[in-house]
Amino acid sequence: MDDDALRQVMATVLRVPADSIGPDSSMDTVPGWDSLRHLTLVLALEDEFGVQIPDEEAGSITSYPLIRLVLTELLDA
């Protein structure tokens, strides 16, 4: 799992500096992380990492740690 790539994708989609993305980053703490940006983020993550995030998980990955966990599981599968 490439944490720098993950931070960069999140930063680009959420329009925040990459160094502001970390363990405390979530829909509650990042301004502008709304439902539309969340969908865009899921698509960008799928493109960047070459994975397919299941719909049931796409709605629940609302923080950096959860995104990292799901991506790690998908990449290891």
Given this model, what pLDDT does residue 10 score? 98
CB count in 10 Å sphere of residue 66: 13
Given this model, what pLDDT does residue 23 score? 96
Distance (Å, rounded) from C-alpha 30 to C-alpha 47?
A: 22
Q: For residue 61, is pLDDT > 90?
A: yes
Given this model, what pLDDT does residue 9 score? 98
60, 68 Cβ separation under 8 angstroms: no
Return the CATH architecture of domain 3-76. Answer: Orthogonal Bundle (1.10)
One-letter amino acid at 72 equals T
Alpha helix stretches (DSSP H) within 1-77 = 3-14, 35-49, 55-58, 64-76
**Tens-digit pLDDT profile for residues 8-58:** 999 999 999 999 999 999 999 999 999 999 999 999 999 999 999 999 999
Given this model, what pLDDT does residue 1 score? 81
Domain ranges of the chain: 3-76
Given this model, what pLDDT does residue 4 score? 96
